[in-house]
Structure 1
């Protein structure tokens, strides 16, 4: 039995820990001992509490303030990492050393990174690494730089500054350093798990994304009843306006509000909306709904595409906007973004319900995805991990 350190460093919500749990369970079934280092212990506990895994707090960055334009908007993933301090040795050295202490404590035979750049740096050249994620969080490692996603935007700092910072940190640790920012993610096995249509680096990949982590659900016919499902987190910047907009949609619906405090959902009290107090089965819920309103998380977007539901996506940050743009390109939904009012959500929902093309395209896209016969990638990832542990040989980069 080998110990495997499973890390989640950046990003919000339950998507990262949910997919890591599936991989952890598959590895445990193969006789290994996963140890989870997670960004958010409290939220992760609801997912991991029944599995008996060792769960510890992941080292996470706390970058020193910097002067940036307001409002700050990322040109790409590199900017997000830079805002975590990756161009400043004093900001990342303590975080990298904290990861190193976890490696020293648990002595894993393998590390698995999900959106964990500083974990990758701590492991670079010393601990075999598997990098997993959706398209956005796993940039192509063969390029000289991480590509900008918004080409007309200036980066917050040059990527060369990050390369110099990584070199300085690794020199202090007596470890090799990546030759470029993108090569930080060069590892024994890389898994880009999403639909290629949702991968912002699809034009740069040497091999397309392999499909979602799980086998996608099969397409479901859209019910005749006009009914919606809404999924929001209370950490959403425009939560108050969004919840008011959802309560005013004017048709029956269901909602799950992540981390809702008592009284948070009182805005729905007089509406025809069933509010769930715990996560629901997305497939079972969408079976009876004709449209979904959500924040553009990759997992929710994938399931909605696979089932064939029009989407209204409320976006604030870069990844949400990328997923929303992909949905719009496919003709299966609309984004609500910027400084919007509550009525914009109501109008968007009725737009996708009133215009038949959205439902028609949603079903066409779902059936096209279904014909690709995507498989469950979790066993494949677990098997790759086992091979790396047993023979120490690099897996093909996907």
Structure 2
């Protein structure tokens, strides 16, 4: 059958690996070979090493740029900061990725947060899929749209900044004797895009068109919750360290409810300062389905996967975001009406927010409405959608273990929109959908 290369260049953690566990299993069951070029080969080995997957080290930028944007307003600013500010740096990474492609001899490449790998792939004939959350796949426009869309920015200045970035990219193209790109967004042209998101939670709320395939947490992963005390009101918190985490934990500990906190990176010195018989720390990840069935709401740092998981189970979320990507998630959460957001530099607002989300039924109702819309969809459904689309592109449709049915198409319409259906290979793109740049 086919050889599939998964490319992961930027970012950290399991969020760039976990969404593909079932997909890799499905590809192997259908007879395909899988290769990974991963930023973090250690974590990739932990997840996929026993599955017979070939794991390579992805080429990565090893130094910081000299003049980074301290505040990033669009994705071009992010690309500038990760190395696209210097044509020489891009050139070296592109050449390294070309060696990866020569070795892998892939029929298809799936790119997760891999802009340089995508640029390097331009002259190759393999099929390409760009996959990730809405944040990682900016809508096509010139200049790229604002990430801080709620703030003002000089668009003429943004266009000039992006033009300089494009000039750096095209110096690399010229050095490789390849055609110039017409825009920065052309980097993300592909045969398919898998938006691991939901339209209501897309980081870019004005995206004109998107192939949403959802984001699901498989049930049964993790331990069941053991709540401290005997309060009927329960809160679950999944947190990463940040400057005001002590304030957040202290507020939760004082609440008239039972709290379980999962935060494997929270320092022990911080945990030891919390003295409460109503709050406990879990050393193991918990079964989200089980937790959601028993808690009143969840507290997160605005992490997309956890926020979406609790909304799918009909539970509201209180977000205290710690970076721009998570601020964008928090704003979508609030727009849906299924939660509240508190700025991390405003911990004094936490008690009121916690009381509001605990006592007002409107947040729970909005979360239940969100969950009801996607009831019946699952990670298995998502995996089948992605597998079928990949095999369509490879020209081996019909090899799947679960053929498409009218019911599956109905579910697809529910999540992607009433007029959405994964198009057949060669179908001209609708207005707003990316097509691979020729």
Q: TM-score range by the shorter chain?
A: 0.7 to 0.9
Give the SS at the match of 1:315.
coil
Equivalent residues in 2 for 1:276-355 (5 A)? 276-341=282-347, 344-355=349-360
Q: Which moved more, 1:263-272 or 1:96-105?
A: 263-272
**How many angstroms apart in 1 are the aligned matches of 2:379 and 2:100?**
36
**How many angstroms apart in 2 are the aligned matches of 1:247 and 1:52?**
45
Q: Which moved more, 1:268-277 or 1:322-331?
A: 268-277
- Aligned twin of 2:167: 164
Conserved 8 A contact 2:98-2:120: yes
Relative distance call for 1:372 and 1:3 in structure 2 (3 A) is closer
| Cα offset, 1:229, TM superposition | 0.8
Gaps of 5+ in 2: 220-230, 397-423
Conserved 8 A contact 1:306-1:369: yes
The Cα offsets for residues 341-393 of structure 1, whole Å up to 9 and x where unpaired, read as 3x544443222102232223322333244389998222222222223234795
- Aligned twin of 1:220: none
**How many angstroms apart in 1 are the aligned matches of 2:341 and 2:292?**
19
> Are residue 253 (structure 1) and residue 255 (structure 2) matched?
no
- Aligned twin of 2:399: none
The Cα offsets for residues 251-305 of structure 1, whole Å up to 9 and x where unpaired, read as 2122221345666643456443343223222212211111101111221121122
- Aligned twin of 1:9: 9
Relative distance call for 1:61 and 1:249 in structure 2 (3 A) is farther
**How many angstroms apart in 2 are the aligned matches of 1:96 and 1:81?**
14
Tell me which stretches of 4 or more aligned residues in structure 1 moved more than 6 Å.
Answer: 371-375
**How many angstroms apart in 1 are the aligned matches of 2:280 and 2:48?**
27
**How many angstroms apart in 1 are the aligned matches of 2:295 and 2:243?**
26
Q: Which moved more, 1:371-380 or 1:306-315?
A: 371-380
| Cα offset, 1:210, TM superposition | 2.3
- Aligned twin of 1:381: 386
**How many angstroms apart in 2 are the aligned matches of 1:306 and 1:52?**
33
The Cα offsets for residues 111-148 of structure 1, whole Å up to 9 and x where unpaired, read as 1001111111111231421111222211233x333211
> Are residue 194 (structure 1) and residue 197 (structure 2) matched?
yes
TM-score where L is the length of structure 2: 0.78
| Cα offset, 1:167, TM superposition | 1.3
Relative distance call for 1:41 and 1:270 in structure 2 (3 A) is farther
| Cα offset, 1:42, TM superposition | 3.8
Equivalent residues in 2 for 1:54-65 (5 A)? 54-65=54-65
**How many angstroms apart in 2 are the aligned matches of 1:268 and 1:50?**
40
Relative distance call for 1:211 and 1:268 in structure 2 (3 A) is farther
TM-score where L is the length of structure 1: 0.85
**How many angstroms apart in 1 are the aligned matches of 2:213 and 2:322?**
25
**How many angstroms apart in 2 are the aligned matches of 1:374 and 1:49?**
22
Relative distance call for 1:42 and 1:264 in structure 2 (3 A) is farther
Q: Which moved more, 1:92-101 or 1:42-51?
A: 42-51
**How many angstroms apart in 1 are the aligned matches of 2:294 and 2:4?**
40
Larger radius of gyration, structure 1 or 2?
A: 2
**How many angstroms apart in 2 are the aligned matches of 1:74 and 1:160?**
16
Conserved 8 A contact 2:65-2:85: no
| Cα offset, 1:64, TM superposition | 3.7
Gaps of 5+ in 1: 218-223
Q: Which has the higher contact order (CA 8 A, sep 6+)?
A: 1
Give the SS at the match of 1:25.
helix
**How many angstroms apart in 1 are the aligned matches of 2:262 and 2:2?**
38
